[in-house]
Chain A
Amino acid sequence: MTKHGEGDSTFESRKFTDWATVKEALIGERIDAVFILAPMAMQLKIDGVDVKVVYLGHRDGTAIVVGADSDIRDFGDLADKRCAIPSRYANQNLLMHKMMKEWKMQPDSIDLIELPPPDHPTALENGSIDAYIVGEPFAALAELNGTGRVLYQTKDIWEDFISCVLVVREDVINDDREIVQELVDGIAKSGKWLDEGMQNRMEAAEIAAANYYFQDPELLRYVLSKPVDRVKYTQLGPLKGDFDEIMELGFEIGVLPRRIDFEEYVDDTFVRPLSELDWNMEHLAGADQEAAAAAADAIRKEMEKTK
């Protein structure tokens, strides 16, 4: 658990390791908000849990990964193979079904197995699965270890892909709009800052690795730079078109028991234009600015070489 906040309020982040516990914590009011899978947010609302999606966590940042030496070269080669997904409620599951439809494959032609994201790279390495689709940093992990190869980045197969969304309990929204606005503004401002420059991303990688992800900073530097649009942190307002597409797919494959209107589970009144928001901060506290600048410089040079 960590605490952080720019204004008067305090935001405590609480790390979870599985979706079921997240859901219980939300229902039990032990947390006020959570970054949760988009279709799960719809299912929560259908189940009668009073929550609303108010913002997105990021866009893109998911990849389909196969073994480094695998003979799988395109999506069609995944037929009759075992592929791990984070959850049946994950947008990654919906994407696999969307792709199967586009490739004119039967809905059961790929054996989709639910596995917690941290287990995906290990399962691929020991051969219990042939591929996996997951959010970062677990796609990059297999790439860096040399055990996996990215078959597709989601940005190349589903533009502006949505994975996690910020869900807030409705009683909190009704009683304390100011603090929800402060949270949404904070996410928007930090996202804008992240997308402003490579050095900012390198600083964020160091701080997030040490305080939130507890991962090697090199892994997060890789995620945030290779390629630079692997994960995007702007355009995070929830849009009806995006969510209707997810909802229709979820309903079509039976993940959602019924259709649900956008207005029923989304409150987009907290979204403000990025031009109105400024984060009065040059650098992240505690970040090694020289190391971040050097890493950003090395990436810039590498990008120039590959041009």
Chain B
Amino acid sequence: MKRSILLGAILWLLFITASHIQLNVGWNKVQDSVAQAFGEDRDKMIVGFLPVT
């Protein structure tokens, strides 16, 4: 019983984390953050603009 509750909690946590990344963060950003945390140089920048000159 305890084991199934623990397993359910872990699965629920994984589901919520994955949903949060998918809906709010973006997998690319997570991938970049992990790479930078391990000392890799950033190789991408996102630059915003408004179409006024």
Contact = CB atoms under 8 A, between A and B. Distances in A.
Are these two chains actual partners, yes or no?
Answer: yes
Interface of A: 8-19, 22, 25-26, 30-36, 57-58, 61-62, 86, 117-118, 134-138, 163-164, 172, 175-176, 178-180, 183, 212-215, 223, 231
Interface residues of B, number: 14
10 A-B pairs with the lowest CB-CB distances in the bound complex, closest first: A34-B48, A135-B52, A61-B53, A135-B53, A176-B42, A31-B48, A32-B45, A10-B44, A35-B49, A33-B47
A9 B45 contact: yes
A11 B44 contact: yes
A57 B53 contact: yes
A18 B52 CA distance: 11
Contacts of A32: 45-47
B34 to A, nearest CB: 14
A31 B46 contact: yes
Interface of B: 36, 41-53
A16 B41 CA distance: 27
- Which of B41, B49, B52 counts the most chain A CB atoms within 10 A? B52
Contact of A183 (B43, B45, B52): B45
Contacts of B43: 8-10, 179
A164 to B, nearest CB: 7
B42 to A, nearest CB: 4
Nearest to B47: A33
Contacts of A117: 50, 52
Contacts of B50: 15-19, 22, 35, 117, 164
A215 B47 CA distance: 20
B52 A15 contact: no
A183 B42 contact: no
A9 B46 contact: no
A58 B52 contact: no
B44 to A, nearest CB: 5
Given A10-B45, A15-B50, A32-B45, 16 more contacts: A9-B44, A10-B43, A11-B47, A15-B48, A15-B49, A16-B48, A35-B49, A58-B53, A62-B53, A86-B52, A117-B52, A134-B52, A138-B52, A176-B42, A178-B41, A231-B53
Contacts of B53: 57-58, 61-62, 135-137, 163-164, 223, 231
Contacts of A231: 53
B22 to A, nearest CB: 15
B49 A136 contact: no
A225 to B, nearest CB: 14
A150 B4 CA distance: 73
Nearest to B33: A29
Nearest to A17: B50
